[in-house]
Amino acid sequence: MEYNEAKEKFINAWGSLATQWGINRAMAQIHALLLISTQPLCVEDIMEELQISRGNVSMNLRQLMDWGIVYKDVKFGERREYFNTQKDIQELARIIVTERSKREIQPTIRLLQEVSSIKGNGSPESNEFKKITSEMYEMAKAADDIVNKVVTQKSNWLTSLLIKILR
Amino acid sequence: MEYNEAKEKFINAWGSLATQWGINRAMAQIHALLLISTQPLCVEDIMEELQISRGNVSMNLRQLMDWGIVYKDVKFGERREYFNTQKDIQELARIIVTERSKREIQPTIRLLQEVSSIKGNGSPESNEFKKITSEMYEMAKAADDIVNKVVTQKSNWLTSLLIKILR
DNA sequence: TAAAAGTTTCAGAAATATTTGAAATATAAT
DNA sequence: ATTATATTTCAAATATTTCTGAAACTTTTA
């Protein structure tokens, strides 16, 4: 496979995979492009490469910045804004895991906490409901604990997790 | 909060959360309903409770069965099919993690494996591409290893993982 | 201060994903 | 073999999400 072919394949496939993860295609593609780029890119560059509109690029760059994985990179003497991404893959993954936990596990925990703590009316249905949602709540908290512990260990978090699991 | 209110809230919120995880609302709601139900339900029951069409229920039950978290539960002397779900929450989570890994991590690994192993033409762009995608590949493999190790440890996998991480 | 160069916003258009409902298919009872 | 009961399929309808493009806005330069 040629470099150009591989690059195109990577960006396209990454976009498709992302939709499965509940992340939108353009956002994933923009991020993929910044990741493999040798220098920061401006909005025009991204529009050009991915053949998408200015508005789309602007909105998705904002989202990527909200996620904390893309930064504005000011060039001296240049008017235009350039964008760059976290290139350290371990650190990138750490940020993404932290962020997804904040956006997905935490609301789930709140919901389960709330519904599992209802008074209940003693009916079998109400008892089963409390039982199952409480178990789910405990489980979600355990998952959250694990993520937090793993993720606050800055460098090489993945490798050291692997080592812990293997022994 | 009343039981009925809590039940409705749980099913609705679960459906919304699911869309964030890339899972469709009806599928998540059907699963939630089976989880908290005291007995297996037939298609009619589900249609009734969630106010969705027969076709929708049928298609999503099939998907849940493909995921391995919902089963047909034959009642003797009954024509109709009844559906039930894995009620052990730890085991349920184990299946879901395994299945998502199979459906999401593995295709990702294959992609990264493929694009990172191109010949390259020596240009800085091609070198950067190989470097980044190789790092992503290594990272995805490590994540996959961790998931496999954790998930093959049948019972209490989450708790024992937590213990390992804490010490 | 006005023009230039760039960025953001957002209403409507387009693309995707989900859902419906009725016909086709399957299975069981008579 | 026929009827009754239940399930599955899939084309069309609906709903949701994403994207576009032009206007509004912001910042810099002259």
pLDDT tens per residue, range A70-92: 999 988 888 899 999 999 999 99
Count the Cβ atoms, other than its own, within 10 Å of residue B152: 10
**Higher-confidence position of B120 and A128:** A128
**Domain ranges within chain B, ordered by starting residue:** 3-85, 89-166
Tokens of A42: 């401006």
Would you say residue A43 has pLDDT above 80?
yes
Mean pLDDT, to the nearest integer, of A91-112? 94
Would you say residue B53 has pLDDT above 90?
yes
Residue B101 DSSP class: I
Q: What is the pLDDT of residue B165?
A: 82
- Token look-up 């995979």 returns A17
Containing B82, the helix (H) or strand (E) segment is: strand B81-85
Q: Is B3-85 assigned to CATH 1.10.10.10?
A: yes
User: Which chain B residues 17-46 have CB under 7 A to strand D?
Assistant: 19, 42-44
In A40-129 the beta strands, taken as DSSP E runs, fall at: 70-73, 82-85
Name the closest residue on chain A to residue B163, using Cα atoms: A146
Q: A51: left (phi > 0), else alpha (psi -120 to 50), else beta?
A: left
Q: What is the pLDDT of residue B160?
A: 79
Name the closest residue on chain B to residue A21, using Cα atoms: B22
How far is residue B79's CA from residue B42's CA, in Å, rounded to a whole number? 11
How far is residue B140's CA from residue B145's CA, in Å, rounded to a whole number? 9
B122 near A CB under 8 A: no
Contact between A126 and B3 using a beta-carbon 8 Å cutoff = yes
What confidence tens digit (pLDDT) does each residue in B131-148 have? 999 999 999 999 999 998
What confidence tens digit (pLDDT) does each residue in B38-47 have? 999 999 999 9
Q: What is the pLDDT of residue B65?
A: 97
Mean pLDDT, to the nearest integer, of B93-105? 93
**Phi and psi at residue B73, to the nearest 5°:** -125, 100
Q: How far is the CA of A140 from the C1' of C27 (A)?
A: 42
Count the Cβ atoms, other than its own, within 10 Å of residue A26: 20
Residue B163: pLDDT band (50, 70, 90) is confident
Rg for chain A, CA atoms, rounded: 21
Checking each nucleotide's C1' against the CA of A43, the nearest proves to be C7
| Positions on chain C within 7 A of a protein C-beta | 5-11, 16-22, 28-29
Q: What is the pLDDT of residue B1?
A: 83
Q: What is the pLDDT of residue B85?
A: 97
Please name the residues in contact with B85: beta carbons below 8 A apart, sequence gap of 6 or more.
B31, B34, B35, B64, B69, B70, B71, B92
Q: How far is the CA of A13 from the C1' of C19 (A)?
A: 28
Q: What is the pLDDT of residue A104?
A: 93
Which residues of A are less than 8 Å from B135 in CB distance? 89
Mean pLDDT, to the nearest integer, of A149-156? 80
Nearest residue to B150 (alpha-carbon basis) of A108, A156, A150? A150
From A116's Cα to the closest Cα of chain B, the distance in A is 8
